[in-house]
Amino acid sequence: MAQNETQRKNETEWTPEEISQRLYRYDKIADRLDGWAAWGEKALAQYRSAGYVAVEGAYSQRQIDDALAALHTLVFEDAKGARIQLTKPSSELKSYEERERAVRKVSDYVECDDRLRAIAYDPQLLARVEAILGDEAVLVQDMALLKPPNGGGEKPWHQDMAYGPLAFQKAVVGVWIALDEAGLDNGCMHIIPGSHADGAVPHYAIRDLQLCDAHVPVEQDVAVPLQPGGLLFFHGLLKHGTPFNLSAKRRRALQFHYAPRSAAKLSPKEYKRFFTNEMTGAEC
């Protein structure tokens, strides 16, 4: 068996604890701005060079409570047209706790709930996104990413623009908003600063559609813990991931992606050339 095939087999056999320790580090913490008022030209310069800016205190506790109440309604009462991604068939989920543990993602909810729509189109948020884009911002994706206690799943290292809905010819901006405290122990965001400058790289179907584990410069990993209402702006090609939630705490977050109004989607041929090994010959 070739070395890379052996490595991939071993990685798929790692436990959540082994993945969290081998593929992430926890001793480098990102700087965070203190509220919207701290945003300025330095923040824009940091975004351009490092591919991210973190801001604490962007949303009030009332706004966070409203968002959590909205998600509760969509998941447990009436989806109203939003998409609920489960790790098990709904028919097998017999209790509130079982359903909570099975819900990984809620998406396409902005048109279903005014409380969530208000966050996605918050004027303070859009002003910063448009300053980054240098163009009118178009919301192209809305999701809630949920890690239940004691085993919420990993999202392996990846670039968001490798996913079809975000494969634009100009860079999108991601916005990740903590609804619970997102800490080192329950699956906060981890990033590789400056990695957006590497451009698009091939992704592989291993634990998810992801970067090859062996190609992630884990030694450069910077964690981005956030308090509820804090957020992370990040470039669509920034390499990032979130480890398992092995704590007894929930970790719920909203994520939005905005594209420039002038951006067109990549053609299938361009997508393959950038994000797959079909045309690059890259190996994992």
Instruction: Give residue 90's pLDDT.
Output: 85
Instruction: Give residue 80's pLDDT.
Output: 95
18 phi and psi angles, rounded to 5 deg: -70, -40
Q: Would 281 be classed as within a structural domain? A: no
Q: Would 242 be classed as within a structural domain? A: yes
Instruction: Give residue 6's pLDDT.
Output: 46
Q: Would 282 be classed as within a structural domain? A: no
263/223 Cα distance (integer angstroms)? 30
Q: Would 53 be classed as within a structural domain? A: yes
Residues of the chain with pLDDT under 50: 1-3, 5-6, 9
Instruction: Give residue 12's pLDDT.
Output: 67
List the CATH number of the domain containing 125.
Answer: 2.60.120.620
Q: Would 280 be classed as within a structural domain? A: no
Judge contact between 235 and 168, C-beta under 8 A: no
Instruction: Give residue 111's pLDDT.
Output: 95
The domain of 260 spans 3-275
Q: Would 68 be classed as within a structural domain? A: yes
Structural domains of the chain, count:
1
Q: Would 268 be classed as within a structural domain? A: yes
Q: Would 26 be classed as within a structural domain? A: yes
Token pair in block for residue 45? 């310069």
Q: At residue 55, what is the residue type?
A: V
Cβ neighbors of 66 (< 8 A, separation 6 or more) are 115, 118
Q: What is the pTM of this model?
A: 0.94
Instruction: Give residue 10's pLDDT.
Output: 60
Instruction: Give residue 273's pLDDT.
Output: 92
